[in-house]
Structure 1
Amino acid sequence: MDIRTFDVFDDDLFHSYNQIYRAAELFERPDAPVWSEHEAAVTFRKPDDAEHWAAYAAFDGDTMVGSSFLASPQLDNTHMTWGAVYVAPELRRRGIGGELVEHLVRTTAEAGRPIILAEASYDFARRDDHPYRRFAEKHGFALASTEISRVLGLPVPETQLQAWIEEAAPHHTAYKVESYVGDLPDHILPSFCHVTNQLALDAPTGDIEFEAEAITPEVWRQKEAKIKEQGRTLLTTVAADERGEAVAVTNMAAPGDDPAKVFQWATLVLRGHRGHRLGLAIKARNLLELQRLLPDRRQVWTSNEEHNGPMLDINVKMGFEPVEILAEFQRKLDV
């Protein structure tokens, strides 16, 4: 078996790569959210100054039998990588996945990075002994953080969304809540980036130690261009202070290739501005804008570290239901 990079612009090879990914992700999880082939292709083909994405595949002769990727931050957290391996269910237990993992580990070490991260989703009932966890531990990874994936069924009655907005409003009269579809306006972008950069520091991350991100307005514009090329619709709501600067942000992405799902991305309120119900206010407002713009969507997917009490409280209040474990694993390397 040979593990190597391949030409991600070769449509036939990339189709094989993506088919293995989909088969692995949907195994025993038929409703799991997955990237479309187009979304994945844009991720690997379009340059990204913030993160380098490398695709690898395992070949038995000319046949692709496994796939993997390794993402390497370029502006911050340059001491780590994060990756994943995929093997179709019918080809498992042949050592393919193990060789792919060790290839990612070697590649990380050769880059001088002492930490590699990986994640896996599985049922609550097997959180302590699921085969994915045992596989990770066999290859030297330790469980470092546990998130809970949750799903909100849509639509939420607009009267309920308005009620949450009105419930929060008396607590943040000094702030202005604004919503945007697609690209953010120039005036809010620097402060939006500042808030976004704090997420890795302020949100619980278990035993994983992150640095603050270093996203700049220029880098975010690059991300917006990639999001649009992937066919996703980005919805963002911010709370701005009296200076007009964002102090709380939330955003969601609606994929063009999956007309039912929406993905909740970041939500964060800066520490000095907490206690004003801004988290509830911006999440309810963003959901209201989503349902007005895309009324046929049926699910919002999100995940939070299981000890992130304030955000879990908001998600439970809004009706998000737990569906599975999202386990984060870490392996420390001698480099």
Structure 2
Amino acid sequence: MSEHVHLTPLRGSISVTDAAAWHQVVAASMAHDLPGVPPPSPGQIHAQLTKPTLDSHRLTWLAAGADGVPVGVAGLRLFTSRGRDHLAELELHVDPSHRRNGSGSQLLSAVVEACRTEDRRSLIVEAAADSPGEAFCERWSFRRALSLDHLILHLDKLDEAEILRVAGAVHPGYRLTSWTGTVPDDLSKAFAAAKNAMNDMPVGDLDYGTVDWDAERVRAMAQVIADRGDTLLTIAAVHDDGTMAGYTEILLPQGAPSRAQQYDTAVVPAHRGHGLGLWIKAAMVRRLPAEYPGVTEIETDNAEDNVHMLAVNRELGFRSYRRTREFQLDIPRA
């Protein structure tokens, strides 16, 4: 059965009312499909909808029923940097009480048309494994491109002696350094070079493009995160020759979150095989509760075929708790 649904593209200045409606739909959707995963707060949603993104811009739609009640939302991130300007990334939620009534299909139709208008050939979206979202993707002929294992580390259940041993280990020729927010100027070029090591991470069959990092881009990324009210923590291993051998990043969402999100962890190819990934991640596990005692958990995700990083995370005490899948829709030119 279908119901009358009105789609409103949200353009220009997004109101607090629109952001609240968006949050209402996302919270209901996540409570149904992702029990145990904290939904973003109203403030996070407002920042997501109103603050600039890095090398991209966003299109958004709000679906409401005949009575004006919000029933679904869609956000389309259009990447603009060279190497990714063929790509769009979708977030789509429908309130569980309004599913199977055509709302999601109407939203996706608008999204696909926008992709054609913007000359995008690849649309990617993430859905929880074995969820209604996965069934929706398959019904619309998305192909499964990547499987992700999500893991949680409970900081109150750590083997503290083992973490201290690993974090305190001596790695001749390397030293640890850390910062909050923007990378220090004297490390910015080395950090950008290390960031490019992420381009060889396993992505399955996903057409995710490539990113070219330089000092300006790493600073811009940190500013985007700060502008939306989040906090970025970084620990890096620096070689005696001044190159950055590896790094790990943790994101703390605005407010007082109990769960931190792992961002990138990478070791530059020339420095792999020395245990640096485990070392820098153990150092971060020690740093986080010392500086932010309200944080009790860290969530990370890894491609299921990224056996090395999965092994590192499990050695630290991360345990699997859910799976997601990345889907891709190839969009023919109009």
Question: Aligned to 2:202, what secondary structure does the other structure show?
Answer: coil
Which segment is superposed worse, 105-114 or 252-261? 252-261
RMSD between aligned residues: 1.8
Q: How do residues 210-249 of structure 1 correspond to structure 2 at under 5 angstroms?
A: 210-249=208-247
Shift of 1:240: 1.2
Q: Which residue of 1 aligns with 2:138?
A: 137
Structure 2 residue matching 1:187: 3-state secondary structure: helix
**What is residue 152 of structure 1 aligned with on the other side?**
153
Secondary structure class of the residue paired with 1:198: helix
Q: 2:190 — aligned with what? A: 191
Equivalent residue letter for 2:79: P
Question: What's the offset of the Cα at 1:322?
Answer: 0.6
* Equivalent residue number for residue 260 of structure 1: 258
In the other structure, the counterpart of 1:9 is 14
Matched residue type, 1:68? A
The 10-residue stretch of structure 1 (222-231 or 279-288) with the greater mean CA deviation from structure 2: 222-231
| In 1, Cα distance between equivalents of 2:209 and 2:264 | 16
Name 2:204's counterpart in structure 1: 206
Unaligned runs of 5+ in 1: none
Q: Say if 2:145 and 2:206, in contact at 8 Å, map to a contact too.
A: yes
CA contact (8 A) 2:54 2:221 kept: no
Moved more, 111-120 or 234-243: 234-243
Q: 1:89-104 maps to which residues of 2 (within 5 A)?
A: 89-104=96-111
Q: Does 1:70 align with 2:76?
A: yes
Cα separation, 2, equivalents of 1:160 and 1:256? 31
Structure 2 residues not aligned, in runs of 5+: none
Residues 123-169 of structure 1 show CA distances to partners (whole Å, capped at 9, x for unaligned) of xxx4xxx43222101111011100001100013354222111245x3
**Distance in 1 between residues matched to 2:257 and 2:49, nearest whole Å:** 23
Q: CA separation in 1, counterparts of 2:318 and 2:104?
A: 33
Deviations 1:243-279 (Å, cap 9, x if unpaired)?
3231211100122334311001110111111011110
Q: Which residue of 1 aligns with 2:35?
A: 30
Aligned partner letter, 2:162 = Q
Residue matched to 2:272: 274
**8 Å contact from structure 1 (residues 176, 240) kept in 2:** yes
Q: Are the structure 2 counterparts of residues 318 and 268 from structure 1 closer, same or farther at C-alpha, using a change threshold of 3 Å? A: same
1:34-183 matches, within 5 Å, as 34-61=39-66, 62-75=68-81, 76-122=83-129, 126=130, 130-155=131-156, 156-167=158-169, 169=170, 172-183=171-182
User: For 2:172, what is the secondary structure of its paired residue?
Assistant: coil
Superposed displacement of residue 38, structure 1 = 1.6
Matched residue, 1:315: 313
After TM superposition, the score normalised by the length of structure 2 is 0.91
Contact kept? 1:250, 1:268, Cα under 8 Å: yes
Cα drift, residue 331 of structure 1 = 0.7
Query: Structure 1, residues 199-246: CA drift from partner, whole Å, max 9, x if none?
Result: 1x3111110133321343333323323322333221101111223231
SS at match of 1:151: strand
Structure 1 position 286, deviation (Å): 1.3
**In structure 2, how many angstroms separate the alpha carbons of the residues matched to 1:210 and 1:15?**
31
Q: For residues 153 and 194 of structure 1, do their structure 2 counterparts lie closer, same or farther at Cα, with a shift above 3 Å needed? A: same
Aligned-partner Cα distance in 2 for 1:115–1:29: 26
Give the TM-score normalised by structure 1. Answer: 0.91
Q: Encode CA deviations 1:152-194: one digit per residue, 9 max, x unaligned.
A: 0013354222111245x3xx31122111122210111222122
**For the Cα contact (< 8 Å) 1:43–1:53, is it kept in 2?**
no
